[in-house]
Amino acid sequence: MRVAITAAALLTPFEEIRKPIVIIEDGKIFALGVQDDLQLPCGIQTLAFPDAVLAPGFIDVHIHGGGGYDVMQAADSPSALASIEALLAKHGVTAYCPTTVTASIDQTKKSLAALGKAIRGKPSANGGATPLGVHLEGPFISTEKCGVHPVKDIQKPSAKLFEEFWQASEASVKVMTIAPELAGAEELIRDASKRGVRASVGHSNANAAATLSALAAGASHATHTFNAMRPLDHREPGILGVVLGEERFTADIIADGIHVAPEVIKIFLAAKGEDRAILITDAISATGMPDGRYRLGTFDVDVSNGKATSSGRLAGSVLTMDRAVRNIMEIANFSLRQSVRMATINPARMLGVGDRKGSLAVGKDADIVVLTPQGNVIKTIVGGHV
């Protein structure tokens, strides 16, 4: 059945279309144009949002949980992912990468097996966000810049161990955070890149030379820029200098006003531009929940006044993607279109799924978020389902 959606404006997000109409059929965008130019078939169902803006559904490539659940609970709690996906859709996210945190090898494999099964299975019928692939954050990270990741479970980069993770996930790992200065990192980056895995530099104390070597080996992205990274220095720019200055790197950032100061977010946006900057949440199980104690992987996190910490260190966030989009509008004075781009087509292209997700065009997945002009979510449509 075809459904027509009308609104005041539409963000592709490359351009803005006034008085648009989108026709969806079988989970895809069948037609898209201006209301006055597109004739509707008689009797077609219409959803009208006369004061709203249509945009591509948001994509979060770094999220650990929400609604009281952690993605690594998927092996033990069948309702975990469904609850997380429902919360994501509430905030405009239509696709995501469930993100692990460093844990024992056995626990990591167990979680990857459950996540891989969910990703390879049929799309959820609950109308929630769709998992695109696992983001493996750890264990191939620096002990010096590990943040709250358990040091005892950190591993040296190993093609053999990655192969075990890959098999456990049913070939569903899509992103891997890795510290490029570690012995064996370049080999692993090359191996993972050949499988279509995006190697993302992060949790790293790398100097500029090591980061450039990782880039040459196939690394192409950076994880939560500024956080858990060697600080920028004007004589030894380190990992940050390369990530910010090198056009071949895309980079993501946690724009919650806690992880990175607004002034530094402006520097990040000036360096990466609206086409290479990506918004993430790094959200944990506490997202959408009251203050209290929650889980991140295998350890506890305390949340108070919007800040998540473990043993005094930042431990993810309770940020939602719609809030991140609005924060960019406020901090950088970006338009809604510019801010939406960093949550849609940019992550889609980074993941290699830009041919079907991240923008609104004929033939693409009908993943749509209906927004107020200020960026608040009114409705979310995932694969044509409201």
Distance CA 281, CA 298 (A): 20
- Tens of pLDDT, residue by residue over 277-300, are 999 999 999 999 999 999 999 999
Q: Give the model confidence (pLDDT) of 55-106 as tens digits.
A: 999 999 999 999 999 999 998 998 999 999 999 999 999 999 999 999 999 9
Q: What share of the chain is helix, strand, coil (3-state, %, to 5)?
A: 30, 30, 40
How far apart (Å, rounded) are the C-alpha atoms in residues 73 and 320? Answer: 20
pLDDT at position 125: 54
Determine the pLDDT at residue 123. Answer: 63
Q: Name the phi and psi angles at 209, rounded to 5.
A: -60, -45
Confidence of residue 191 (pLDDT cuts 50, 70, 90): very high
Q: Where in the chain is the domain with CATH 3.20.20.140?
A: 58-356
Percent of the chain with pLDDT over 90: 94
Exactly one of 60, 252, 256, 282 is catalytic; name it.
282
Q: CATH assignment of 58-356, given 3.20.20.70, 3.20.20.140, 3.30.300.20, 3.60.110.10?
A: 3.20.20.140
pLDDT at 43: 81
CATH 2.30.40.10 range(s) for the chain read 2-55+372-381
pTM, rounded to two decimals: 0.97
CA dihedral angle for residue 233, residue 236, residue 238, residue 242, rounded to 10 degrees: 100
Position 126 pLDDT exceeds 70: no
The answer to whether 59 and 351 are in contact (CB under 8 A) is yes
Q: pLDDT tens digits, residue range 132-165?
A: 999 999 999 999 999 999 999 999 999 999 999 9
Plot region of 111 (φ>0 → left; ψ -120 to 50 → alpha; else → beta): alpha
Indicate the helix (H) or strand (E) that contains 264: helix 262-276
Is 300 one of the annotated active-site residues of the chain?
no
CB atoms within 10 A of CB 86: 18
In CATH terms, the fold of domain 2-55+372-381 is Urease, subunit C; domain 1 (2.30.40)
C-alpha distances (whole Å) from 210 to each of 147, 204, 237, 309 are 20, 10, 11, 30
For residues 314 and 40, the model is more confident at: 314
